[in-house]
Chain A
């Protein structure tokens, strides 16, 4: 909660002083008296105190699981649970970053007496995926407007729209355990690989009994081993990544987060271990794991961790500590910390708009450290101005540099669902 003084009445002191001066200099009592009115109005903001904000928020959705592209009506009710009247209570609902408002306004102002409720509703266009509402931002001013309290009110609401990612194509990897990744190594599995001499300790079921019956020789059948992978989804949420194609369009981090949410849903249906990490306001890291508890923890993290905030840093937002500009060594520090914690057999899928050179270096370092790395890069560049064309060209160069370093990059145009893009890419490039 932030309490601010708006200082909007300060100029009235000047008006009061002006009239006093006029009255004295020209010997006009009436003008002097106007100074009294000026003074009275200058004191006005002193008569009120910053409001105490106790609010409850309740959000209702017209349809909790709509089809993609269908508008959903969101009705938000805000109740004043405090015992003071809020004379000027402004609410900006936390519409999920990926959803756009189709009609109505998610912003509302109301006068709220104790126990009173105000209600407003608007329609959002849905997109495939799971979308969580951010906490609503509330700005309450006192009646004079001299004090302003900014805070947030949360209500966990989410819209879930049919997921569009069928599966994440994982890359081949040197070693691991049984899972869906079919390798060229012999071991337990389904597909025949080779026959080799029996070694003590081989499972009885894998002994080739026919050959033993025929020749009395003990041999072991090897199958192509199938291994699960351990995937870390890494989101680039540093300040430079909050780029959008145009004003009012979702920024690249919002696209990345939507992508991560789809990938987490898709991966949790497999036996692959999924982890989550982000560079940004602070390093977020959750090592790969499996199971429902782990999955719940991932969703929790996506919803609440400051690094997974789709609002660009620097904008005024309650509870957002002074995180102004990224220090130059911050990314290196976070990347080093991440590499230290990361298991060596973990694949890394980086989601980044590739908005600067430093993330490219970081990805290459990760890859050089032995992590099988893939980059999914939402394309938020535009073509209108010279600067935008330059940025697009630079991004193309970065894509090329990464591909040159043997790191596959999925160039994702956010207009297309991520699943379609991945399927296309999988058909074209991945052998897994």
Chain B
């Protein structure tokens, strides 16, 4: 029996789905969604490579290679979309998905967390770019960010479970509860932020709001140390 300290499969799958959701919120057109689904399938194939499953799951080098081709194809498709704005919406998210996938596979046990963090960073950059270039509405940006952070959290949780308990342990209930709670909290945060935004804060000059927020976050960062 081989010893496997890989991230737990359920948390890995949920993290991939959440990162796909984050990307899909930013990229609304059909072409983009198709690319996301293809990338998700590809990342899924890459992430399952070399694992032991009870169910018949396609794996082996050929499948992993096919997955990698699918991911690269999806990213290439995203690059060559007619509208460059659509590429900006799509590509960072796809790269983020790929990085999260490499983190939960993982490519290297030691760097699993770094890959997942890099995936979060890519998705966050995507959200920021959309915010800058499209002046997009708040709902898309907030939803995508919350989903990206939830994906990162779930993936990290799966990595820690894999490290401490290995993949053959029964951990599903804990993973589902953790994912559910984080997602629910993220959704609540988004709703609260939107409610604040709609009712009142819009009248405030941006600079004042920014100062207030910056002060609050600085205070928080100081408290964290």
A-facing residues in B171-225 (Cβ within 8 Å)? 171, 173-174, 177-178, 181-182, 185-186, 189-190, 192-193, 196-197, 202, 206-207, 209-210, 213-214, 216-217, 220-221, 224
Contact stretch, chosen from B40-48, B69-77, B103-111, B157-165: B157-165
A30 contacts B135, CB within 8 Å?
yes
A105 contacts B166, CB within 8 Å?
yes
B117 contacts A33, CB within 8 Å?
no
Contact stretch, chosen from A21-29, A53-61, A65-73, A402-410: A21-29
B residues within 8 A CB of A145? 153, 156-157, 160, 178
A168 part of interface (Cβ distance < 8 Å): no
Which residue of B has the minimal Cβ distance to A30? B138
B-facing residues in A62-98 (Cβ within 8 Å)? 87-90, 92
Output the residue of A89, A101, A111 with the most chain B CB within 10 A.
A111
A19 contacts B145, CB within 8 Å?
yes
B146 contacts A88, CB within 8 Å?
no
B127 part of interface (Cβ distance < 8 Å): yes
Which residue of B has the minimal Cβ distance to A13? B221
A18 contacts B128, CB within 8 Å?
yes
In the complex, how many residues of chain B place their beta carbon closer than 8 angstroms to a beta carbon of chain A?
56
Q: How large is the interface on A (under 10, 10 to 19, 20 to 34, 35 or more residues)?
A: 35 or more
CA gap between A308 and B51 in the complex, in Å: 37
Question: Which residue of the partner chain, among A9, A35, A139, contacts B217 with CB atoms under 8 Å?
Answer: A35
B35 part of interface (Cβ distance < 8 Å): no
**Which A positions have Cβ atoms within 8 angstroms of B?**
6, 8-13, 15-20, 22-24, 26-44, 87-90, 92, 101, 103-105, 107-111, 120, 139, 143-145, 247-248
A selection of 23 A-B contacts at a CB cut-off of 8 Å is A11-B120, A15-B145, A17-B217, A18-B124, A24-B210, A24-B214, A34-B127, A36-B196, A37-B190, A40-B189, A41-B146, A41-B185, A42-B220, A43-B220, A44-B185, A87-B181, A92-B165, A104-B168, A105-B165, A107-B169, A108-B170, A109-B170, A143-B177
Extra contacts, 18 of them, besides A13-B217, A33-B141, A105-B170 (Cβ < 8 A), are A19-B128, A20-B214, A24-B214, A30-B135, A34-B138, A37-B142, A39-B217, A39-B220, A41-B146, A88-B174, A101-B1, A107-B166, A109-B174, A110-B173, A110-B174, A143-B177, A145-B178, A248-B3
